[in-house]
Amino acid sequence: MKVSMWYNNNDIRIEEVTTPSPGKGEMLVKVMSCGICGSDIVEWYRSPRAPLVQGHEVGVEVVKTGDGVNQYKKGDRLFIAPKIPCLKCSYCLKGHYPQCNVVKDRLPGGFAEYILVPKELVTNGCYLLPDNVSYDQATFIEPLACVVRAQRIASLEAGQTVLILGSGMSGLLHIKLAKHKKCKVMATDINKRRLEFAKSFGADYVADAASNILEEMISANGRKADTVIVTTSALPAFKQAWETVDMGGVVVLFAVPGPDKDVTVPINDFWRKEIRILTSYYCGPLDIEEAIDLISKGDIKVDDLITHRLPLKDTAEGFKMLLDGSESLKIIIKPHE
């Protein structure tokens, strides 16, 4: 079978490997769609495991099941979580599912014609797709689940004012979900086309990220934001977040700068104003279930976020387009087309 092997963002090769056969408790699935995630192009995050087959936003079809797999059969349509929690450790019992390190198995990369699903993920990481959810729509389940979790821990609710810094894929999903919750939303970006997307997807106000965002926020809303969500790694966004969050508000760090970049936090000012800073990394089982439900019911529409569909051989081109960012939002790799 063919896989797209990632060495770095400028070295992605189509390679031939042996198609695996499922052992006891395992499952072989055919990758129908796999989205390129913004985290896939973050080299400092991915390089320690290179070379590797990337891709974790998948829609798949079951091809063959190993002995002992009774819950799924050939032809079943699935979403598979990239990694899963044990549900029993101290972190899981506190709801910190992404921090669980008991289950070591990960989903092998989805930029491939087939995936051998490990036993642990067959047992607890697979979700049958509703009939009305396509394979392409399935590629949004994991990123939307991450957004669901971030807004849940921030206690986002109707009537709040939300500032979303960055209108890439994650930012646009945050806009869609915040508007579904009946929040007032302001969004920023340096890319005018992305600001147009943000406006069309429901943002009440948009602003060029290079402008004075505090002034823009006050002008549009009359006061600062109840919640600020940072979805970009650009350093200026963190200073903007500190400046624009209202007293008693919350800043959610959905994205982070590189590990070599320092961010200064105005602790003394935040202490007096009772500002909360939260980090949100990945998602848990309940978030995945909610994301599937939101997509299936049409509460969050995702088809309008897809800008490109490419065959496996063009994975490198997809990475280039995402790195450029001027014309692309969601790029989906179709290994069998």
Supply 328's token pair. 């692309």
Residue 12 β-bridge partners: 6
Q: List all residues 6 or more positions away from 301 whose beta carbon is below 8 Å from its beta carbon.
A: 176
* Pairwise CA distance, residues 2 & 112, whole Å: 6
In three-state secondary structure terms, 157 is coil
Confidence band for 326, pLDDT divided at 50, 70 and 90: confident
How many C-beta neighbours within 10 Å does residue 129 have?
Answer: 21
Question: What is the bridge-based pairing of β-strands 184-189 and 205-208?
Answer: parallel
pLDDT of residue 1: 97
Supply 126's token pair. 């697979």
Question: Domain 2-144+283-334's class?
Answer: alpha beta
Residue 51, preceding bond cis, omega within 30 degrees? yes
From the candidate CATH numbers 3.90.105.10, 3.40.50.720, 3.40.190.10, 3.40.50.300, the one assigned to the domain spanning 155-279: 3.40.50.720
Is the pLDDT assigned to residue 296 strictly greater than 90?
yes
Q: What is the pLDDT of residues 26-44, one digit of tens each?
A: 999 999 999 999 999 999 9
Tell me the domain boundaries of the chain: 2-144+283-334, 155-279
Closest by alpha carbon to 254, among 154, 141, 185, 158?
A: 154
Closest by alpha carbon to 335, among 50, 139, 145?
A: 139
Do the Cβ atoms of 225 and 244 come closer than 8 Å? yes
Considering the chain, what percentage of its residues have pLDDT values greater than 70?
A: 100
Q: If you average pLDDT over residues 165-189, what whole number do you get? A: 98
Supply 155's token pair. 């206690």
Q: What is the pLDDT of residues 179-206, one digit of tens each?
A: 999 999 999 999 999 999 999 999 999 9
Is the pLDDT assigned to residue 327 strictly greater than 90?
no
Is the pLDDT assigned to residue 55 strictly greater than 90?
yes
Closest by alpha carbon to 91, among 106, 103, 108, 105?
A: 103
Alpha carbon distances (Å) from 42 to 54, 207, 257: 12, 26, 10
Confidence band for 287, pLDDT divided at 50, 70 and 90: very high
Confidence band for 325, pLDDT divided at 50, 70 and 90: confident
